[in-house]
Structure 1
Amino acid sequence: MNFRKYADILAGNLLITFCYACITVPNHIINGGVTSFSMVTAKLINVPTVYLVNGITLLLLGLCYIGLGKEYFLGTIFSCFSYLVLFNVFSKTGFTVQLPKIASVLISALGVGTGYFLCLHAKATTVGFDVLALIFHKKKEKLNVAYTMGAINLAVMLYGGFTFGVLAIAYGAIFVGIQSIVLNKLQTIESKTEMGK
């Protein structure tokens, strides 16, 4: 067992879940993603959100195995378990970071972007739309993973525009933009470091 791989996945999920549970959720900051997509779709087709979240998550897990292979799949299973446990732990503490909205957006986007990097670096996904971004990148290497994820998340927010409202979308777009820039910057540094070896 590769201890470093799973330590990175755990650290990535620690950052992501802290930011989501203690900053974005209490401050009503949206960021696209599976949950946002499910919330909007649930209203349109009158199905409980939880069913859609579970169904889409299982679909993405299957796509991860088919499109990315066993190594990503095993890391993703651990990532999914870590996310569920850590998100519940942080949610149960009731601890929230209360800052002005824009500061909350900036801090949480930095944390989530870094968390995504740690997971992707360890060859794992968060069982979100990062699965699709990685599959697209695998099919066409010129597609940037960070910006493809950002585009998918922005598309989800636009899809839910009437549900979220214009101001929520504006904050969400800032969040997604910063998260994508952070992830891309870290991946670029990693790539240059590996080329220098």
Structure 2
Amino acid sequence: MFKKIASILFGSMLVGIGINYFIIPNHLVDGGVTGLGLIAKYTLGLKPGLTIIILSIPLYLYAWFRFRSFFYNGVHGMLTSAFFIDLFHPLMELQTPPLLISSISGGLLLGTGVGLMLLTKTSSGGSDLLALMLSRGTPINVGVFIFMIDSIVITFGWIVIHETTLIYSGLMVGMIGLTTSFITSTFSS
């Protein structure tokens, strides 16, 4: 129980810091539900954490009926991550590193945060939960599913938001996928 709580708190803090310090100031777009929350932030000025909660509801309802343990484990991670994403919003005002360093560093922080949560079968949002459910029925690593979902969302973000840099967002998503895959395949028991 302590391991699960620690992974949710530490992983969610890493996600919140990465999004607010590296991603939002550079108009990078993450993938999945988090990316959709960022797109809502950039286009409509909505709080990304709250948007992530709202967009995750259908997946958590599905998990309630099909993967009850994923629901119980994931809902805590999603709510905690959304809380830290909105809590750490003052980090957006700080001076950030150049775009290349921000995309790599943001990807490493998010990938580490998500990977730590996935080790204890928790997730930070809807697409992580979806990837976890999909990987349960296939031999494909959860990080590969996250990468595929993220690629679709960042392409959508690039089309909708003109300030978005597709190459750097893609690099960041690649770092998230690689880091998540490394952590889940290396440290899973």
Q: TM-score, normalised by structure 1?
A: 0.81
User: SS where residue 126 of structure 2 aligns?
Assistant: coil
Aligned partner of 1:173 in structure 2 is 170
Matching of residues 110-129 of structure 1 within 5 Å: 110-129=108-127
Structure 2 unaligned segments of length 5 or more: list them. none
Structure 1 residue 165: deviation in Å?
Answer: 4.3
Size of the aligned set, in residue pairs, is 184
Note if 1:57 corresponds to 2:56.
yes
**Whose Rg is larger?**
1
Partners of 1:48 and 1:119 in 2: CA distance? 28
Whether the 8 Å contact between 1:110 and 1:182 is mirrored in structure 2 is: yes
Whether the 8 Å contact between 2:14 and 2:110 is mirrored in structure 1 is: yes
Structure 1 residue 139: deviation in Å?
Answer: 1.7
Whether the 8 Å contact between 1:33 and 1:128 is mirrored in structure 2 is: yes
Whether the 8 Å contact between 2:24 and 2:92 is mirrored in structure 1 is: no
Note if 1:151 corresponds to 2:138.
no
Structure 1 residue 48: deviation in Å?
Answer: 9.8
Range with bigger deviation, 14-23 or 79-88: 79-88
Q: TM-score, normalised by structure 2?
A: 0.84
Distance of aligned partners of 1:159 and 1:27 in 2 relative to their CA distance in 1, 3 Å threshold: closer
Runs of 4+ in 1 over 6 A off after TM superposition: 47-52
Deviations 1:60-96 (A, max 9, x none): 22123334323x3222222123223322321146553
Structure 1 residue 52: deviation in Å?
Answer: 7.0
Q: Percent identity?
A: 22
**Which of 103, 106, 112 lines up with 1:105 in the alignment?**
103
